[in-house]
Amino acid sequence: MKTIDCLAIANRGEVAVRIIQACKEMGIETVLLHSEADEKTLAYRLCDKAVCIGPSPVNQSYLNIEANIQGALSADAEAIHPGFGFLSENAEFARACEKHRLIFVGPRPETIELFGDKISAKKLVEKVGIKTVPGYQGENQETEYLIEECEKVGYPVIVKAAAGGGGRGMKIVRGKSEAFEAIESAKREAVAAFGSPIVFLEKYLDHAKHIEVQIFGDHMGNIYHLYERECSVQRRHQKVIEESLAAKIDDQIREQLLEAAVKIARAGNYRGAGTVEFLQQDDDFYFMEMNTRLQVEHPVTEMVMGVDLVKAQIQTSLDRGPLWTQGDLFPRGHSIECRIYAEDPYQAGIPSTGQVGGIYWPQGPGRRFDFGIESGDEVTPYYDSMIAKVIVWDETRIRAIQKMRKTLQDTVIFGVKTNIPYLLAILEHSEFVSGEMTTQFINKYFPQGLKLNQEVSLDIIEKLKSEVMSGGSVEESSLKNQLQKSPWSQNVWSRT
């Protein structure tokens, strides 16, 4: 039987802390593979062993495959968890782990490869009969030819890097006059960020919601879905607030989405945690991409589903399971996550660095804080500016919004500026509260970040308070009806 006594973490910050916590509870020792900049961090203090794998710039440490492998081997680790970002979706890294007899906590390298290339992923998905955003995914990459294809797709068009991720390498083209420059610059960005100039085109859906399904494959080939998340609140294609379940979704569409996600995971012979991302516009939904890793926003799923996805990943990598039955997996209540960035919300979100002073996380029922910094730590300019995530759970969405507002209002972080005022303004916006927001939300209402003394709607604040008092049980009863119809969930509600 496979075992892991010691697991290396090829990551940093709050996700490294998250993995260390899971390992401690499972009786597994941890080795943190860290850069020179990350010695004064919470993950460094919590891990059992630490190995410095290189200088602060990511390509010399966190993105260096050989340095991570050698670091893990030198500390006698038997497995590597890649977290998210960095090498988490790098098939070459997963292969290098296998070659050195290190268990890679994640999908098989072939699966990472298949879904990592957005073009091959779209082709697979179309083959199993699920709609993808219409566009051009052909081999001819001549800019002039791509412009002709843009005309066929019809403006607005989005140009994307085949190997893309993290919102990079994407350009929206609103008309022919912009096409040449946009395609050329998407190609340049794609080469710089992902080492490949290959791009593809999609119709730009201008009033869509971002809905994604958490799926999981155990080592025996069982595929589960853990319902959906909504991540429509995005800035420059990067998620800011996420929730589970979706804020407002037709029951029938939900059922179709969940089924489609399971079908896609099955087609890819999926193992481990994964996320199938869709854009939903009007009554249609389209596959966008599959992320073959743990997602930043996994806590909202953990809160409503009552599962631990990191432990499930580790168990699966050890061939333990089955972990659940689909019928056991049922959602309860509503969860919201806000990403806390060290940045100045009044200056269009420019990063804020420096030593962190006092921090206070206001604990309470249904509140979770995933953070990677403590008082006295340094926020450096080398890495993503997300320093923490605040997650809340409550019985209904309105209550969860109200709880998040209170939690953020009472959170204190000295030393660096944070986006908390910006998050509060979003939470108090009528379109967010109604659940009708699309991916255009931030562009439409907060294009330049936050203005000083931006007015808040007192009506909304009063509405939130009174709806919390009245219980707001409507959302749950509609879900209950839907679940009773679902083929996967007989007896679900009689268990609660």
Chain residues that interact with ligand ADP, rule: CB under 6 A: 133, 158, 164-168, 202-205, 208, 210, 234, 237, 277, 279, 288-289, 439
Closest CA to 368 of 346, 388, 392: 392
Which DSSP state fits 177?
H
Partnered with residue 234 across adjacent β-strands are 239
334-341 and 238-244 strand pairing: antiparallel
CB of 290 to ligand ADP, least distance (A): 10
State residue 149 phi and psi, 5-degree precision. Answer: -65, -35
For ligand ADP, give the closer residue by CB, 130 or 279.
Answer: 279
For ligand ADP, give the closer residue by CB, 205 or 262.
Answer: 205
CB environment 215-253: b (16+ within 10 A), e (fewer): bbbbbeeebbbbbbbbbbbbbeebbbbbbbbbbebeeeb
For ligand ADP, give the closer residue by CB, 40 or 168.
Answer: 168
**Reading across the β-sheet that carries 171-173, which strands appear in turn?**
135-136, 199-203, 157-161, 171-173
The 3-state DSSP class for residue 377 equals coil
The 3-state DSSP class for residue 283 equals coil
Interatomic CA distance for residues 203 and 92, integer angstroms: 31
CB atoms within 10 A of CB 348: 13
Residues in the chain: 496
CB of 289 to ligand ADP, least distance (A): 5
CB environment 158-197: b (16+ within 10 A), e (fewer): bbbbbbbbeebbbbebeeeebbeebbbebbebbeeebeeb
For residue 64 the two structure tokens come to 């260096």
For ligand ADP, give the closer residue by CB, 237 or 332.
Answer: 237
Cα dihedral 41, 373, 246, 207, rounded to 10, equals -90
For ligand ADP, give the closer residue by CB, 133 or 305.
Answer: 133
CB atoms within 10 A of CB 441: 21
Which DSSP state fits 27?
T
Partnered with residue 356 across adjacent β-strands are none
The 3-state DSSP class for residue 259 equals helix
Closest CA to 259 of 242, 276, 245, 273: 276
CB of 177 to ligand ADP, least distance (A): 20
- Catalytic residue among 18, 254, 271, 293, which? 293
Closest CA to 155 of 131, 127, 133, 174: 174
Q: Has 367 been annotated as catalytic?
A: no
For ligand ADP, give the closer residue by CB, 203 or 225.
Answer: 203
Partnered with residue 285 across adjacent β-strands are 280
CB of 297 to ligand ADP, least distance (A): 12
CB of 234 to ligand ADP, least distance (A): 5
For ligand ADP, give the closer residue by CB, 71 or 135.
Answer: 135
CB of 123 to ligand ADP, least distance (A): 15
CB of 34 to ligand ADP, least distance (A): 25
CB of 157 to ligand ADP, least distance (A): 8
For ligand ADP, give the closer residue by CB, 208 or 424.
Answer: 208
Closest CA to 44 of 56, 53, 31: 31
190: left (phi > 0), else alpha (psi -120 to 50), else beta? alpha
For ligand ADP, give the closer residue by CB, 67 or 208.
Answer: 208
CB of 150 to ligand ADP, least distance (A): 13
Give the residue numbers annotated as catalytic, written as ranges: 293
